[in-house]
Structure 1
Amino acid sequence: MRFTSERRLDDGVLEREFTLGEVPGLLWTPGSASAPLILMGHNGGLHKREARLVARARHYAAAYGFAVAAIDAPGHGERPRSAADERSRADLRRAMRAGEPVDDIVDGFIVPLVDKAVPEWRLTLDALLSLPGIGAPVGYSGMTAIGIRLAVVEPRVCAAAFFAGGFVPGALREEARRVGVPLLFLMQWDDEGNDRGRALELFDAFNSREKTLHANLGGHAGTPWFEVDDGARFFTRHLS
């Protein structure tokens, strides 16, 4: 892990950019001597500096004392997209506009993304936990498809908050039955791009003994800010 920039923000949070091999990332740390870690994964097509992600990360660090890290997934943010990525995105947009089935497109796009992204997250986790002041236990907050696989294969992830807006392929829906960590599941009731029934079926599939569903009225990007504090309190209970 190589840090490429560092700045102290006005809320006292230290923000550092880093690279780990070809993977660029951001780390926000509070002023406290020791902080539990939250891995914050962005949703499809977004960037580690996407405004809503950065706002959540800074709030978690400044108000609740968490260390928070985000990386750009393959084909996202600063990372190059392959011709196959571009075709899949175009096919998905076209099918959604036409009201056509998208399952095959999602499977062909999301499963390879998860296969690449999860090992990168695990290597990032190794590097982050070697830094002074950052320790386990670890939480994950963000894209559901990546989060399912990470919660299944990574024993250091002790709690997860998933956003139901992401497309989740059938194979990962089966993996969801192996997720047993405490879970907070967010969904928008009127999400224009995602099926409500499929989101509820996914929530039902998780094997967690403690799982909570928060559903709010509004479209895909309309999750209210108070859910950020509810998420932080959820992680405080399980990572303290």
Structure 2
Amino acid sequence: MTMHFTSAPRLSDGVIEREFVLGGVPGVLWTPVTASPDTPVPLVLLGQPGGFGLQRMRARLAGRARACAAQGFAAVAIELPGAGERPPLPGAAEARTDLVRALAAGEKPGEDVIDRLILPLVDAAVPEWQRTMDAVLALPEIGERVGISGGVIAVATRLAAVDPRIVAAGLFAGSYVPRATFAEARRITIPVHVLLQWDDEGNDRAMALELFDAFASAEKTLQANLGGHTGVPAFAAEDAARFFARHLGSASG
């Protein structure tokens, strides 16, 4: 599958930004100006929340990409299934309505609701991320080591479980998790860094802790901070950056 770049390279703060389409899926690739065939750089997959859309998240993603570039990493983001201009996933609207109804009633969402909301997204998104890796890693300025950062934790967990190219996972415990994800977590042995906002109103804290416990990694870190979903302290990003620096380095080697 061929990656078609749809915009001329744009330079900002030492970062080259290129929009692309791959198999009908839009995305953005950011590379530091230092990246070249002689000095290929590691790649970070930038996850994002489900349903928000690439353009809505563009400024935040670009900021994360610039932080990656400052460490000597390339970064890529793609439009998730059902987001932006892409057609909605079958049953997603009904599942989200059921989730909102349960939360409004002060009830814990049932496993069936979570499965109907999250699993179709995981099933569709993971192969698209793998095709994106195929295309980006074929570029001569991109090295072999790949990390995944943020996004829907069930998507990142499945991707890390099935694709050996990913060598480090920085995860955000901010969404509900299907039971199938726990079995996938037990297959993961790469280093894992999980950020948990302790008072996140949209997160099941007990479920997040259970998922962290399920990871089979010899090196795994849980960083829990007081505050809600949008109250992530600045130092948390610095800690995540150090995590990727340890496990990705700055060149493919």
Report the TM-score, using the length of structure 2 for normalisation. 0.90
* Corresponding position of 1:48: 54
Report the TM-score, using the length of structure 1 for normalisation. 0.94
1:83-108 CA distances to partner (integer Å, 9 max, x unpaired)?
52222222222222222231321111
Instruction: Report 1:1-240 matches (<5 A).
Output: 1-32=3-34, 33=36, 34-49=40-55, 50=57, 51-61=59-69, 63-82=70-89, 84-102=91-109, 103-142=111-150, 143-240=152-249
Distance 1:10 1:127 in 2: 23
Of the two structures, which has the highest relative contact order with CA contacts closer than 8 Å and spacing of 6 or more? 2
Amino acid at match of 2:32: P
Distance 1:135 1:165 in 2: 30
Runs of 4+ deviating beyond 4 Å: none
Amino acid at match of 2:60: R
Deviation at 1:77, TM superposition (A): 2.5
1:63-92 CA distances to partner (integer Å, 9 max, x unpaired)?
111100011111013322145222222222
Deviation at 1:165, TM superposition (A): 0.6
Amino acid at match of 1:22: G
Q: Matched residue of 2:18: which SS?
A: strand
Distance 2:191 2:85 in 1: 32
Q: Percent identity, please.
A: 58
Amino acid at match of 2:101: R
Amino acid at match of 2:118: I
Q: How many residues align?
A: 239
In the alignment, structure 2 segments of 5+ residues that lack a partner are none
Distance 1:112 1:19 in 2: 22
Greater helix share, structure number: 1
Deviation at 1:209, TM superposition (A): 0.2
Deviation at 1:176, TM superposition (A): 0.8
RMSD: 1.4
